[in-house]
Amino acid sequence: MHRLTTLLFAFTVILSLCHQSYGQPQNIVLFLIDDLGWMDLGCQGSTYYQTPNIDKLAAEGVRFTDAYAACAVCSPTRASILTGKYPARLLLTDWLPSGRWKPSSKLIEGRKIRGLPLEERTLAEVLRDAGYQTIHIGKWHLGSEPFCLPQHHGFDINIAGNAHGAPGQYFFPYQGDWSIPTTSRRATWNVLPNGKPGEYLTSRLTNEAVNIIKKSDNTPFFLYFPHYGVHTPLEAPEELTKKYERTPQHQQQGKPVYAAMVESIDHSVGRVLDALKSAGKTNDTVIIFTSDNGGFYKATSNAPLRANKGAYYEGGIRVPLIIKWPGLSKPGRVIHEPVITNDLYPTCLAAAGLSMIPHQHIDGENLTPLLHETETLLRNSLFWHFPHYNKHPSSHPSSVIRKGHWKLIESFDPETVELYNLAEDLGETCNLANDEAKRRDSLLGELEAWRQTVGAERMVPNPNFESE
């Protein structure tokens, strides 16, 4: 009897530990950095940017080498995180409120919506309904009043989130003057209504996050922390900028002021991690760190990746991704499986011990099997669709598919097809579309089938276009 009691007790303990790792509510902190490039971290290989806190997070968690943003510009990626869907399925495929199309363009841009639809059951809504406190701090950029702000999409607390994609300035009063696309009007705004002279936005937002963590009780929380940094305007504390100015120019990966902004983000991550430790929540918190698109060409170099934010070469869509999941992620592991920001929705559900909602996060995969080393993902391909023009270099209206190591880009203007073997040509320097015609045509067929499945908006010829 004693032996049976002992065995039952041991079994109960094991079940309890398993439940704690997979089922019991876990706090979730999701850092989304704006315009942070794939190579802009020490753990990613940079010798210029100093990111010791983020590097430590990678050493204690799992780092993904082949992680992608759902779009090469910001708003659609943010929508994919909160819905688990491809931007093309949402018809939210460009930054908001975008208006780049010109009447003289060869093609007429596809339709796009102007805010995150209320019909979507966001990640924040699901977690709130499960008893989580849901907190948004930072950049929103998914619509405006009267129904498209964070508080309309499941967040109990919204600090600094509004329609704008950047602060007017990074120092208080954070005010700016903004040209309204497709109109001759301008708007004045600031992201926070109060503060004090000299206050730096990245630090201020971090203060808000730290204070909330300090005041937290036993209620699980979802802290969605989409920083405005390191988006333009390029501004940082003077003493930090001078630190990077002392590096010889030929050794600089990007502008010194941008490097200072990156280090400020690193300080933010470190302070949040310290706050979690002080509150005794380190072992109960899943931490996710990623970026919304590739690095901006005027700020940083994405080499060895080709191109930059706005483009559908690797430099525009491949991003850092780090996940620290206590009890699940083996410290220091590196995963090479291709993943995308759509995957964060079901992964966060798993962190909360909630059932999957496949009809909502239809385009996302739960990443816990990869973290647990139990199996690979079921899907074979990733997709992108951008039926728009923009002013970023190397950017064209296009659709993209990645399958295994192969990546195909179908550009609509100019009409081109490019095919790259990323395992052998990470910099996308050798177009194999003619050499691998059978593979090219197969991928084109799969890409077209996907566009039909998700209802991707098509570009059409412009009747007013006159070729030169």
Of residues 43, 71, 136, 141, which has the active-site annotation? 141
Q: Annotated catalytic, 74?
A: yes
**What is d(CA 34, CA 57) in angstroms, rounded to the nearest whole number?**
19
Of residues 71, 74, 148, 348, which has the active-site annotation? 74
Q: Which residues of 343-362 are buried (b: 16+ CB within 10 A; e: fewer)?
A: bbbbbbbbbbbbeebeebbb
Phi, psi of 75 (to 5 degrees): -55, -45
Q: Are strands 460-461 and 415-421 parallel, antiparallel or unpaired?
A: unpaired
Closest CA to 227 of 171, 160, 288, 142: 160
State the catalytic residues: 74, 141
